[in-house]
Amino acid sequence: MHDDDWICGRLGEDEPWILGAVNPPVFENSLFTFGSAEELGEAIRNEDERYVYWRGTNPTVDLAQRKLAALERGERAKCFGSGMGAISATISSLVSAGDHVLVLGAVYGPTTQFLRYLEKYGVTHTHVDDLAGCDSAIKASTRLLYFESPSYMAYEVVDIAEVTAWARQRGLVTAMDNTWSTPLFQKPLTMGVDLVVHSLSKYVGGHSDLVGGVVVGPARLIRPLALTEYQLYGAAMSPHDAAKVIKGLRTLPVRMAAHQERGLAVAAFLEQHPVVRSVNHPGLPSHPGHAIALRQMSGFSSLFSFVLDTDSRQEVGAFLDKLRHFRIGVSWGGFESLVNAPALTVEESVRSTMGIPVGLVRLSVGLEPADTLTKDLGAALEELA
């Protein structure tokens, strides 16, 4: 197995079809033709691996998939037109009418929305906080355990090996969103997770110019998903976006090292500020899951949250407006630093159900100098003091 830096920069790029190009070609054609009817028929029967039509796969997309599978230490990967395309297809591939899904901890909001959507097809779900909750909520019909680590908005750490062992003993399939850590800093498949999903729009793309997703896992689970849900849902990744994934991977190791350094510096600054109640960053020694994080992760990204010492939505909004280097916006993982506050963007009932305090602010620390960002935050925080 090659190291991750080599996978990001070179895996699959010495093959004849690349013709020695530094950047692999982008195959823009919508279809491929064949020398005989028999050859076409054989290709269609194996369209998860053969090039037939853009909606199936494409050489540029396939190269991105091979790199991502290798980074996650998985057999196969399938890229989608969005992160939700990957999540929706993955969950759909694992459940049928009458099945039940356990959701452990806080997960991406649209993932919960999709699970609610599946209720009209007879698939139910239960949100739980920990394994004790799993013990109480599991049913004879439970098929899937889905989770993120670190978790959505709260950035709590799940003991992945413990959770997957629990699920395996009970015959459940596990799926995990690993977008926060990237395949560089955490490899859930090596800890027993069955399928891993990512939004490639975040750190992997890295430049806020791409929307995409991927699912990685064993061929026995990826092949049927690729032939069925991927084809029928039509959330195909374009070769142009795959080329951006490949370019993003080239600098991912260098960018993640910088994100980690700057993110921890900003988090440490906020932790000492009198107007900040708490900081939710797994890389801080004060984080409740820090010890587990050190055991199962090799690094930390720069997305985290903190809680302002206020319960006023107006004060939270005023704080965001005073920031100059942090841009106000959704998404994360790009070169630019971003700020968002669920109290201003999430429906009140949903926010309270998720246990998100009014004063919670989410930061995505970009690649700007840490002192520039801490000065910006400090100036805005002084207004609250």
For the CA atoms of the chain, what is the radius of gyration? 21
How many angstroms separate the CA atoms of 154 and 267, rounded?
14
| Secondary structure in 3-state letters for 224-250 | HHHHCHHHHHCCECCHHHHHHHHHHHH
Question: Active site residue: 67, 76, 78, 202, which one?
Answer: 202
How far separated are the first and last CA of the chain, in Å rounded? 53
Q: Is 322 a catalytic residue?
A: no
What 3-state class would DSSP assign to 46?
coil
**Is 202 an annotated catalytic residue?**
yes
Stated as kind and residue range, the H or E segment containing 102 is strand 100-104
Q: What is the DSSP string of 330-346?
A: S---SSS-EEE-HHHHS
Backbone angles phi, psi at 109, to 5 degrees: -50, -50
Q: Is 108 a catalytic site residue?
A: yes
Pairing verdict, β 276-280 and 303-308: antiparallel
Nearest to 190 by CA among 300, 292, 107, 71: 71
Q: Which of 50, 55, 327, 375 is catalytic?
A: 55
Largest CA distance in the chain: 75
Q: Which of 51, 108, 203, 230 is catalytic?
A: 108
Q: Does 146 qualify as catalytic in the annotation?
A: no
* Residue indicated by tokens 């020398």: 35
Cis omega (within 30 of 0) for bond into 150: yes
Q: Which of 177, 194, 241, 376 is catalytic?
A: 177
d(CA 128, CA 137): 8
Q: Active-site positions?
A: 55, 108, 177, 202
